[in-house]
Amino acid sequence: MTMDQGRDHDRNQDRPPGPLWIFAYGSLMWQPDFDVLETRPATLFGYHRGLCIYSNTYRGTPAALGLVFGLDRGGSCKGMALRIAEDRADAVMAKVWNREMVTKVYRPRWLTAHVAGRPVTVWTFVADRDHAQYAGRPNDAETIRLIRQGHGTGGACVDYVVSTHAHLKTCGIYDRALARVVRQLDTPVSPAG
């Protein structure tokens, strides 16, 4: 099931009955800003967590872009499935929509994740590869530069990346690519010259 990114009024169209499950892979894991009934480890196949979105609002500015996570095609992603009470689903979906869709760089999707060994329909946001903010896979040096320079309305990009890594570790999730980025962020910047 898919949902067109431009149809705000239809975001509930394909929602299955019962509680809402949201697949969180970045800051929604550690800063959901809404009531969660239950949080469970989940795996989503067909997408991976990547620092693939230029941030010009929350973790950067147009003059000094940051770099944030998106679900990008290929591989798999371990994250958390957040269960929301059915009677709160509409309000939570509206809140998450307003948070994630500021620049419409994501495409909301209903996908199947594996939660406790069973398939669960989850709502999540995947990177729109046709959007101007889609960064693809910057090389390591560019990734580190963007993360270090980014600071927006949501704070420093470095804090966002490090907090996501720390929360994943707390949840028992090891993301090798993210661990490599964090190790490089811990490396002092060489003085120019």
The per-residue pLDDT for range 68-78, each reduced to its tens digit, is 999 999 999 99
CA angle 6, 40, 48 (to 5 degrees): 50
In CATH, the architecture of 8-185 is Roll (3.10)
Let me know: does 55 contact 157? Beta carbons within 8 Å: yes
Query: Can you read off the two tokens belonging to residue 86?
Result: 């059915």
pLDDT tens for each residue of 31-88: 898 999 999 999 999 999 999 999 999 999 999 999 999 999 999 999 999 999 999 9
CA–chain centroid gap for 122, Å, is: 14
Q: Name beta bridge partners: 173.
A: none
Radius of gyration of the chain (CA): 16
pLDDT tens for each residue of 16-26: 888 999 999 99
Q: What is the pLDDT of residue 135?
A: 98
* Three-state secondary structure call for residue 47: strand
CA–chain centroid gap for 110, Å, is: 15
* Confidence category of residue 3, pLDDT binned at 50, 70, 90: very low
* Three-state secondary structure call for residue 132: coil
Let me know: does 77 contact 44? Beta carbons within 8 Å: yes
- Sequence spans of domains, the chain: 8-185
- Side-chain half-sphere of 72: how many Cα atoms within 13 Å? 15
pLDDT tens for each residue of 139-157: 999 999 999 999 999 999 9
Closest CA relative to residue 74, chosen from 3, 115, 127: 127
**When comparing pLDDT for 186 and 103, which is higher?**
103
Q: What is the pLDDT of residue 166?
A: 94
Closest CA relative to residue 52, chosen from 99, 2, 105, 101: 105
Let me know: does 5 contact 107? Beta carbons within 8 Å: yes
pTM, to two decimals: 0.87
Place of tokens 């003059």: 63
Q: What is the pLDDT of residue 188?
A: 66
Q: What is the largest CA-CA distance in the chain?
A: 61
Q: Tell me how far apart the alpha carbons of residues 2 and 75 are, in angstroms, rounded to a whole number.
A: 19
Q: Which amino acid is at 70?
A: G
